[in-house]
Structure formats: C-alpha cells, structure tokens
Structure 1
C-alpha cells in the first residue's frame, strides 16, 4: 500500500502506550499498526505549510519567504520572552499574536535525556511532552500569557537545561528523577512577577512510548540527500520513527517534504 502526502508533525493520543497518526490530505495513518512492518519512504518534492507552493523548505516546514513574513514563524515562537501582544504591540500580525500569546501557558520540567525546562500553551499539555520524548514531566507554573512563561524559562535555564540530547533520548538512556523535588529546588529562581502562579501540589505525568527496540547508535535519516530509504519500523518516540538498523527519522524536522510512504 502506498500513501502520498506532505509531512507534518504526527498527531498523538495520550494512551498506554502513546498512539501516533500520520495525517496526509487523503490518508490518516495509524503508525502504531505499522510497527514491525517494512516501510519505504521516498522524497518526491516540497510543499510549504503556509503558501502551499513547491518551494525548498527553509525552516519549520516553511519556505524562506514565509518563514520571514508569516506570524506563525515569528521569533517569539522559539523565544517566548520576546512576546509583545500583552503590550498591544505587533510583531507581524497583532490579531494572530494576541490569539496565541494571550492564553494560559505552562512552564514545565520534562525528563527525556535529562531534566529540562520548557514552555507550552496549556492546551498543548501533554502533547508537547510526547513530542519531546519525555518519559516524565511536571508543571511548574501556569501563567496567563506567553511573555510571563518566557521570562520564567529564561530565569530557570541558568539552573537547569533547556535542550534535549536527541541521541540520548532515543537510546532511552535516562534516569528517573524526582521532578517534584526539582520543582521545589527551582522555585526560588522564579521571577517575582510569576511567583503567585507557582503550582504547589500536582504530580508527575508518566509517558510510555511504543518502542520494540531502542537504537544503540542512532543515525539520522536525511531524505533530502538520500531521497529513498527502506527499513523495518521498530518504534516511535517523540516525533521520531525508529528503524531496526538504528536509523531514525524526525518527522517534525522534515515538515513540508512531500513523500511516498509504502508499506511492503
């Protein structure tokens, strides 16, 4: 069976284990059902997630012109402390920025390769943790806008990591941590404007990923260079497909690529 479509971030369900779905224009593929099957992926073109044109993808699924013009790719996406909608100040499109920035946000701790701090919209919990391949996570603060979450993350990342080691995460080379203890330890570094939003009494969330075999030496597949790859799917973690030969493919990092996916 052959499926053809534009790669976008896999949709997920928070179940035991996590359920993954690859969504194309005409197909909805339950990826868990393809574990232990041989897949062929072939890169056939590009489709910008904004303008829809067959143009080389620059970053985050967008062509270069859309990446630098569209509000969905503003700098505040990756650096929430740059958010300005709460000041009624426009970056690229104030209406869009108010819609996204002026809603409840969570600052959290997640443990994937190590304990890290991060920011997400409240509506994206626990999806954000799933996408990062975290096996445990906990909320630290819940604030009313993205800016307050951003300045909290900036303050805390002087005392805890803010990046994930993707190779370590995929090897499942992690140690369980007491995230409630971490949260209490970091409380003193929360900015004064945010201290009233500290969450005192919630528990860790634990996540279980559908992986039959973790790679010992994960090697990243670059479909732009290799064009075609064939391998047996043995697991999914974060937004990575894991294959039997230790090849891993980051679906989210390849958004905007048009592919043929064949189940052999």
Structure 2
C-alpha cells in the first residue's frame, strides 16, 4: 500500500492563507471547550508542514504536546512550528511519526485529548476512515477534521463546460489508485455516519474557499489541477481543456474570475 500524504510543500504553502481564512472558528472554539483543564496531547493526521497545528494551537488551552502523523517522511523536512504557542503563549511540544493510516491501530490515540486533520478525509478509503473513527472512539478523543472537499465548485462568470470538468474531477476524487478507492466528496458524510453510529455528537460546517483577484496565483494553480484531474479521468475532455484553461487564465489575470470551492469541517465528540 502506498503512503498517504497531504500534498507537496509548495502546494501547501500556496494554499495556506485560503485555508486559514476558511477553517471554522466556531468548531475550533467548540473543540477548545471539550479539552480537559490539564496538559493535553493532540494528534494531527496527514500533518504535512504543520499548517493545522500552526492555526489551531493558539486557540486551544495547554500546555500542549502534538503528535504529527504523515505518510511522507520528506514532508517533515518543511515542518516549522518553532513559533507556535498555545492560548497562554506557551510553546508547544511536537513529535512526528511516519505511518500508513490504513494500518492505524485502534489504540493509536490512547491518552490523546483530541485528534485533528486538514484536507485529508477525501483522499482516504472507507476502511482508513473507519480506522480513524474507531481509534477516536476507543480513546474518547474529540476529533476536528477541516477542509474536506465536497465536490461543489462555482465559477463566475460561468461557462458551459464547467459542469463537465466538475463531474469528471469528482469522479477522479473517487477513483481507485494503487488498490485504494478514495472517498472523495463522500468523505464527510461517511465519517459523520460512522461517528453517529458510535453514539457521538457530530457537527458539520461549510468552509468554502472564496477566491478572487487577490488570490490569482492560487486560483490558477487550483484551476490547472482541477482541469488536469478531470482530463485524466475523462480523456475525451482533452480537446476542450486547453481553450478553457487559457480563457480562465486570462480572466484570472484581469481579476474578473471568482471561484468558490466547496469544503466542509466536521467536529465529533462523545456523549
């Protein structure tokens, strides 16, 4: 089985500002209320360069120790949490572990006060998601998962080919790769149902990216990746892709292209 990682460090850096603006402050505050009044251990899955820890740690009580999980050992070379503090200004402690989430043991989070992830759930399989839920339930550790793709994309101004690229991209998100069929846009409903069946509370919040003239570099990078994945899934779209992308790039350069990319955050906690 191949390792699961969030993405390249350059892509994570490019999207960092949009991610920070989109994540649910409401659910972060709710997680803070669920944590014990004592030193806390938190686990972040698919941690990448540590963006979730950088964003969330200052909103949570401490002292904090974070255990960062990723399937790509190289991504941790770009980890930078030197200036991260908790809500009282205390530095956080950080450990890293490289592992396959498909092999996550049910006792992986014992002793943890919370579990987090960002932009991860949609690239998991049903079995991997179930393992994460089961480990959270076993530890009774509240879980906050942010920025899972919903499959909803709105481009303004619209174009007749938007729907074809969007449908093909969503199919690409659900594809089977290296023997793994990913959840794609079904990730949050699948995860939420698994937690609900365990008797947990589940709260979901829409957290879309809203990109415009100020986000031109991210917008174009996202657009090229979106169309590229769609063409990979449906090669017959290749004949219209170049013209479509050139038109959209020119709009982005003029500052007239606006895109809303659907994401969702979910918080689950025991009754």
Measured against the shorter chain, the TM-score band is: under 0.3
Give the number of the structure with larger relative contact order, counting CA–CA contacts within 8 Å between residues 6 or more apart. 1
More helix per residue: 2
More strand per residue: 1
Give the TM-score normalised by structure 1: 0.23
Give the TM-score normalised by structure 2: 0.23
